[in-house]
Amino acid sequence: MTTDKKSYYLTTPLYYVNGKPHIGHAYTTVVADTLARYHRLKGEDVFFLTGTDEHGQKVEGEARSRGVKTQELVDEMALEFKDVWQKLGITFDRFIRTTESAHIDTVQKLIRKIYDNGYIYPGDYQGWYCTPCETYWTEEQMDEGKVCPDCKRPTAMLSEKSYFFKLSAFAEPLLRLIEKNPNFVRPATRLNEIVSFIKMGLNDLSISRSSFEWGIPVPFDEDYIIYVWFDALINYISGVDYLNEGDVFKKYWPADVHLIGKDIIKFHAVIWPAMLMAAGLEPPKQIYAHGWWTTAGGKMSKSRGNVIDPMNVVDEYGVDIFRYFILREIPFGLDGSFTKEALILRTNADLANDLGNLLHRSGAMLKKYSASRLTRTISSHPDDRELIKRAVNLPGKVDEKMADLQFSLALKEIWEVIGLANKYIDTMAPWKLFKSGQHDRLDEVMYNIFELLRIVCIMISPFIPGTAEELWSRIGNSDSLAKQTFANAGEWGKLPYSATVSVKDPLFPRIEV
């Protein structure tokens, strides 16, 4: 590959196809899309991977209960995930499915390599097994009554011959990895959890199953299939062509960040890097575990039946309102409560009152005073210095927050500048300047407002891209928004001479409760 651009590789988890996409899936994927768009804005060569996890006993059972072939079920569900991502404006570079032949070949290649390196061995396994979660639990881990600590359903004692991965051999290497790279797991609370888990001692992991058929055969013993989690984790390298170990793999691996929910942190921060070490490969640079969206019924999960369908929210309120709310409402990494009341409150306050009102009132004034036409003028007025300074410094402020994946705080920085612009209008009072005949000063003030909106528009484009496109067209830019870069976002005076501003309906009408 011939490019000098800095590469940036990010992933979501693979989503399990035994149920429809829900808000938890949408949250991780919107976050990933925002991050991908942001790094593209910075001029980086981004590779954004997402997809579906299609093997395992749950999927086989779901197909049986529906009376369809398992492959038909996974084909249908993969399409459903793709459709939802399209409606949410997700700009993935690759949608991977674990039933793809290239992924299957990659899994078998990696498993054989780990086996040849001496880290997989045969043995007998006995333990309490949760079929819905496809996970074995120890006595200590289970809730009272031998129920699964995750989905709260009954477990069953199972015994079977299995192949084991020598996870226990990687406790010290994992601790050294974390010591060398303290940002390997974020946020810090999750890092502390992982360190404590490793220090308690790691048990070898059963990585094969023989009680059902829907999975990838173990390459050195086809009486067994590979445990679904072991299979699914390998997508992160199969998605960038580890199979051929060519230019794509060399460019993008190790991944810059795996974005995941906190409930699967141990698979990603313990088992996955240990698998890579066992195969002689580098671990990813960072694993960032976000919190859960909750409702009155607690954590949302398919197993508990209390999930919110993101498309119902999008159909009722719009894509960008949904995107803005989930990105702005809670700091990334913490839990948050999803309610329509909170979404409406946030929409009315931030999108309608702040951003929408700034555009609408300034557009109406420009129409009244200058026939909607700007006069390009660079102000040296002392009353404008703070506004201009804050606007040109905005990209740097946003970048500081995005470096730590703090989407909510990045949006807060942008909205503080929007708030400053609204106060600037109140202070400068363009209506008074017009009445008193100070037309040169009026031109300066009006240009400053719309030039600030140009910068804001570029900075919100990764978060709420549809709104950014609409805003961009309304403020009279001649170049397309897609051609803008992070570098020129902070250059003052880019809005073209004599730009014509469109005055239309408000960007975000207030939502009446």
The answer to whether 55 and 228 have CB atoms below 8 angstroms apart is yes
Identify the CATH number of the domain in which residue 418 sits.
1.10.730.10
Count: domains in the chain: 1
Q: Which residues of 396-420 are buried (b: 16+ CB within 10 A; e: fewer)?
A: ebbbebbeebbbbbbbbbbbebbee
Q: Is residue 476 part of a domain?
A: yes
Q: Is residue 442 part of a domain?
A: yes
Domain presence at residue 131: no
* Residue labelled with tokens 């693979």: 14
232 located within any domain: no
Q: How far is Cα 170 from Cα 192, in angstroms, rounded to an integer?
A: 18
Supply the range of the domain harboring residue 385: 339-489
Residue-wise pLDDT tens for the chain (513 aa)?
445 789 999 999 999 998 889 999 999 999 999 999 999 999 999 999 999 999 998 899 899 999 999 999 999 999 999 999 999 999 999 999 999 999 999 999 999 999 999 999 999 877 788 877 777 787 777 777 788 887 888 888 877 789 999 999 999 999 999 999 999 999 999 999 999 999 999 999 999 998 888 999 999 999 999 999 999 999 999 999 999 999 999 999 999 999 999 999 999 999 999 999 999 999 999 999 999 988 765 666 655 666 788 889 999 999 999 999 999 999 998 998 899 999 999 999 999 999 999 999 999 999 999 999 998 777 788 999 999 999 999 999 999 999 999 999 999 999 999 999 999 999 999 999 999 999 999 999 999 999 999 999 999 999 999 999 999 999 988 789 999 999 889 899 998 878 899 988 899 999 987
Cα 409 to Cα 47, 49, 393, 403, 406, distances in angstroms: 24, 25, 15, 11, 5
**Residue 404 within a domain:** yes
Whether 393 is covered by a domain: the verdict is yes
Is 226 inside a domain boundary? no
- Per the rule left: phi > 0, alpha: psi between -120 and 50, beta: everything else, 144 is beta
Identify whether 151 is part of a domain. no
- Amino acid sitting at position 429: A
